[in-house]
Amino acid sequence: MRRAKPLLGTLVEVETDSGNAEQDSQAINAAFAEIIRLEKLLSRFNPESEIAQFNSLAVGKELKLSTEVAVLFKISKFLHKLTAGLFNPSVNIETAQAADFSKISLRGFSIKKLVPLEVDFGGIGKGYIVDLAVRKLKEFAPQSGLVNAGGDIKVYGEKVYPLHIRSASNAHKLFFSAELKNGALCTSAGYFRGFNKGGKNFQPIFDPHNGTAVDGKLSVSVIATSAWCADALTKITSLLKDRSKDYIKAMNARAFLQSGDFFREL
């Protein structure tokens, strides 16, 4: 059974193949409910979310986080360190410049900011939610399944899933086919959300060190064991291209670049 709902600002598909319609239905309902719960928990725009609470927190004050949010901060700190600050979900609201994400103290589930900053997990949040939705889906349907949140895909179990990636130059064409088993595939491209500046298209992915945006014609796909990792690595690879090779290797991932008719594995 495969169902889709408008969630996370996109189309979210959930699929299971237990062979039992009732079990599938229950599993898919549980996965959708988990996504709705996490969307509320992680949305910067929901004033009750822990992210909004953290953003309005005064410097030096402590906030207790739920496990899911604490883990998201932890993996983001890990990626921030791994990429020498290139992966950076923080911003200084006053200057509208990237802030120093390492100036966050996280002990267990207690968090504090050491300098004024706000966070936005747009570069990793969708993948992270996909991972947790898959975990929920698996509880109810352990055999195999899939969650696809607008192109952030994770599959589990013995089933091999056929996948298609859109052409970077024409979103209505499919560029290549692939098969994925027990892993995640995320793609970052400009076709549905680019912006125009000086007659050129760009994607809303910025280098925190110099503020430059990624070329709108580039499409990057990353395969990894978890969707948070694949999601974040598409952003890093979009910025660094070949220079992201070490990070891709460190995360046991694979990255593919597409621009026009040009396609290659990093």
Partner 1 sequence: MSKYSSYSFALIGATAALVASPTGAYAANYLSVREAQQVLFPSASDFQKLEISLSTDILEQIEEESGADFESTDIRVWKAIGKDGELGFVIFDDVWGKHEYITYALAISNTGEVLGVEITDYRETHGMEVTDPEWRKNFIGQSSANKDKVELRESIPNISGATMSCRHVTDGVRRNLTLFEKVLKNHKNA
Residue 51 C-beta: closest distance to partner 1, Å:
19
Which of 113/136 has CB closer to partner 1?
136
Of the candidates 119, 149, 122, 90, the residue with the CA atom closest to the CA atom of residue 204:
122
Which of 203, 244 has the CB closer to partner 1? 203
CA–CA separation, 209 and 120 (whole Å): 17
What distance in Å separates the CA atoms of residue 258 and residue 166, rounded to the nearest whole number? 10
84 three-class SS: coil
Site string for partner 1, 137-176 (x = CB under 8 A): ---------x-x-xxxx--x---xxxxxxxx---xxxxxx
**In the complex, least distance from residue 57 CB atom to partner 1, rounded to whole angstroms:** 29
Query: CA-CA distance, 252 to 226, in Å (whole number)?
Result: 10
Q: Return the SS3 of 222.
A: strand
Q: What is the largest CA-CA distance in the chain?
A: 55
Backbone angles phi, psi at 52, to 5 degrees: -65, -40
SS3 89: coil
What span, in angstroms and rounded, lies between the C-alpha atoms of 47 and 19? 41
Q: Closest approach of Cβ 86 to partner 1, in Å?
A: 20
Candidates 117, 184, 233, 236; binder of partner 1 (CB under 8 A) is 184
Helix (H, G, I), strand (E, B) or coil at 33: helix
Cα(199)–Cα(69) distance, rounded to whole angstroms? 39
Q: From 55, 68, 76, select the one nearest 231 (Cα to Cα).
A: 76
Q: Using the rule CB under 8 A, which residue among 76, 226, 237, 244 binds partner 1?
A: 226
Q: Which is nearer to partner 1, 90 or 148 (CB)?
A: 148
Q: How far is the CB of 145 from partner 1 (least distance, A)?
A: 12
Q: Give the x-and-dash track for 54-93 against partner 1 (CB under 8 A).
A: ----------------------------------------
Give how many residues touch partner 1 by CB under 8 A.
61
> Which of 89, 123, 157, 183: binder of partner 1 (CB under 8 A)?
183
Considering the complex, state which of residue 94 and residue 261 has its C-beta at the smaller distance from partner 1.
261
What does the per-residue mask of binding to partner 1 show for 2-41, with x meaning CB under 8 A? xxxxxx-xxx-x-----------x----------------
Q: How far is the CB of 199 from partner 1 (least distance, A)?
A: 20
CB-nearer residue toward partner 1: 162 or 198: 162
Dist. CA 98–CA 12, nearest whole Å: 30
Q: Dihedral sign, CA of 47, 49, 52, 57?
A: positive
Interface residue list for partner 1 (CB under 8 A): 2-7, 9-11, 13, 25, 135, 146, 148, 150-153, 156, 160-167, 171-193, 219, 221, 223-226, 254, 256, 261-263
